[in-house]
Amino acid sequence: VQLQASGGGLVQAGGSLRLSCAGSGRFLSINRMGWYRQGPLNERELVATIEASGATNYANSVKGRFTISRDNARNTVYLQMNSLKPEDTAVYYCKAIVRRDASAALHQYWGQGTLVTVSS
């Protein structure tokens, strides 16, 4: 199972970016998908998650500015980021919780990360 993230870049404060992360490989289903980020001096932290049902969860720091969504047919998760702030600068990673086969086991996979830089 592979996750390919894209969409990062350089943007001015107040601007917007949209991240995408597509899952590929052999698996039965993808349960939770999410975005995490790691700034230059910080540990990796949760940004937002979305269940297969569509239920979402956000970090307080991004509520009202970021929107997570997914396309189950394309095994893709998106992160629409609006009103970006310099403190949003980080490498953004996608994560997926995957059921590979008919067993009850779930497996966690990470994408390679995409850099978001917000200038003031």
* pLDDT tens digits, 42-64: 899 999 999 999 999 999 999 99
Q: Among the listed ranges 39-43, 67-71, 109-113, which one has the minimum average pLDDT value?
A: 39-43
pLDDT digits (tens, 9 = 90+) for 2-45: 999 999 999 999 999 999 999 999 999 999 999 999 998 889 99
Q: Residue 104 phi/psi, 5° resolution?
A: -80, -5
